Structure 1
Amino acid sequence: MDERWVKNGLVFTEEGFREVNIRVIDERIDSLVKNEGEPWKEESDKMIDASGCLVVPGFIDAHVHFNDPGRTDWEGIETGSRAAAIGGTTTIFDMPLNCAPSVTNFKSLQDKRQYLTTMSHVDYALWGGMTDTNIKNRHELSQMSEGIIGWKAFMSESGIDDFQFVSPDGLKQAMKAAKKHRKILALHAEWDEEINKLTALYKNRAGMNERKAFLASRPVSAEEKAVSYALELAAKFGTALHFVHISSAKVVGLIEQAKKSGVDVTVETCPHYLIFDEKDFLKKGAILKCAPPLRAREEVEGLWDCIQRGWIDTIGSDHSPCLYSMKATDSIWDAWGGIQGVQFTWLALLDEALKRGINLGEILPLGTSKVAERFGIANRKGQIRPGLDADLVLIRLDESTVADKQSLAFRNAYSPYENREFLLRVKKTILRGKVIYDDQSGVFEEKLGVCL
Structure 2
Amino acid sequence: MLDLLITGGRVVLNNRVEFTNIGIRNGKIIRIGSIEQKEARQTIDANGQLVFPGAVDTHVHISEPGRTEWEGFETGSKSLAAGGTTTYLEMPLNALPATTNSKNLQLKLEAAKKQNYIDYGFYGGLTPDNLDELAALADSDVVAFKCFLSTCGSDEPGDFKNVDEHTLLEGMRLLAKKDQLLCIHAEDADLTDTLEAEMVAREQTSADDYVASRPILAEVIAVKQALEAAKETGCALHFVHISSAEAIQVIQAAKMEGVDVTVESCPHYFTLSAEELDVLGTLAKCQPPLRSKAEVEKLWGCLLRGEIDWLASDHSPCTPDLKQGNFFSAWGGISGCQNTVDLMFDEAVKKRKMPIVDFAQLIATKPAKRMHLSQKGEIAVGKDADLFFLDENQTYTVSEDQLFYKNKHTPYTGREIGCKITRVLVRGTIVYDALDGFAKKRIGQFVRPNKTQQG
Task: Normalising by structure 2, report the TM-score.
Answer: 0.94
Residues 136-183 of structure 1, C-alpha deviations (whole Å, 9 max, x = no match): x0x553244322000000011123442110012211012112111111
SS in 1 for 2:57: strand
The alpha-carbon distance between structure 1 residues 347 and 111, as it changes in their structure 2 partners (threshold 3 A), is same
Identity, % of aligned positions: 38
| Farther off after superposition, 156-165 or 314-323 | 156-165
Q: Give structure 2 stretches of 5+ with no counterpart.
A: 448-455
SS in 2 for 1:9: strand
Among 315, 320, 331, the residue aligned to 1:336: 331
Among 145, 151, 159, the residue aligned to 2:153: 159
Question: Could you say which residue in structure 2 is the equivalent of 1:21?
Answer: 21
Question: Could you say which residue in structure 1 is the equivalent of 2:429?
Answer: 434
Q: Does structure 2 conserve the Cα–Cα contact (< 8 Å) formed by 1:105 and 1:144?
A: no
Question: Could you say which residue in structure 2 is the equivalent of 1:408?
Answer: 403
Residues 206-256 of structure 1, C-alpha deviations (whole Å, 9 max, x = no match): 5x4522211111100000000001001111211110000000011000000
Among 117, 123, 135, the residue aligned to 1:141: 135
Q: Are residues 1:292 and 2:285 paired?
A: no
Residues 384-440 of structure 1, C-alpha deviations (whole Å, 9 max, x = no match): 000000000011111123211110110011111111111111110000001000110
Question: Could you say which residue in structure 2 is the equivalent of 1:448?
Answer: 443
Q: Give structure 1 stretches of 5+ with no counterpart.
A: none
Whichever residue aligns with residue 171 of structure 2, its letter is A
Q: Are residues 1:129 and 2:125 paired?
A: yes
Q: Aligned partners of 2:7 and 2:95: how far apart in 1?
A: 41
Question: Could you say which residue in structure 2 is the equivalent of 1:54?
Answer: 50
Q: Does structure 1 conserve the Cα–Cα contact (< 8 Å) formed by 2:192 and 2:213?
A: yes
Q: Does structure 2 conserve the Cα–Cα contact (< 8 Å) formed by 1:203 and 1:210?
A: no
Q: Are residues 1:351 and 2:357 paired?
A: no
Q: Aligned partners of 1:419 and 1:282: how far apart in 2?
A: 16
Q: Does structure 2 conserve the Cα–Cα contact (< 8 Å) formed by 1:178 and 1:185?
A: yes
Question: Could you say which residue in structure 2 is the equivalent of 1:205?
Answer: 202
Q: Does structure 1 conserve the Cα–Cα contact (< 8 Å) formed by 2:199 and 2:205?
A: no
Among 136, 142, 150, the residue aligned to 2:144: 150
Q: Does structure 2 conserve the Cα–Cα contact (< 8 Å) formed by 1:152 and 1:185?
A: yes
Q: Does structure 1 conserve the Cα–Cα contact (< 8 Å) formed by 2:138 and 2:175?
A: no
The alpha-carbon distance between structure 1 residues 448 and 45, as it changes in their structure 2 partners (threshold 3 A), is farther
Residue 115 of structure 1 and its aligned partner are, at CA, apart by 1.8
**Once superposed, what is the RMSD of the aligned Cα atoms?**
1.6
SS in 2 for 1:300: helix
Q: Are residues 1:418 and 2:413 paired?
A: yes
Q: Does structure 1 conserve the Cα–Cα contact (< 8 Å) formed by 2:77 and 2:116?
A: yes
Q: Does structure 2 conserve the Cα–Cα contact (< 8 Å) formed by 1:203 and 1:213?
A: no
Q: Aligned partners of 1:91 and 1:382: how far apart in 2?
A: 9
Residue 328 of structure 1 and its aligned partner are, at CA, apart by 2.2
Whichever residue aligns with residue 419 of structure 2, its letter is L
Write out aligned runs for 1:19-418 (5 A).
Answer: 19-34=19-34, 46-135=42-131, 137=132, 139-161=133-155, 162-205=159-202, 208=204, 210-329=206-325, 331-353=326-348, 354-377=350-373, 379-418=374-413
Q: Does structure 2 conserve the Cα–Cα contact (< 8 Å) formed by 1:241 and 1:266?
A: yes
Q: Aligned partners of 1:318 and 1:220: how far apart in 2?
A: 19
Q: Does structure 2 conserve the Cα–Cα contact (< 8 Å) formed by 1:142 and 1:181?
A: no
Q: Does structure 1 conserve the Cα–Cα contact (< 8 Å) formed by 2:273 and 2:290?
A: yes
Q: Does structure 1 conserve the Cα–Cα contact (< 8 Å) formed by 2:205 and 2:328?
A: no
Whichever residue aligns with residue 141 of structure 1, its letter is A
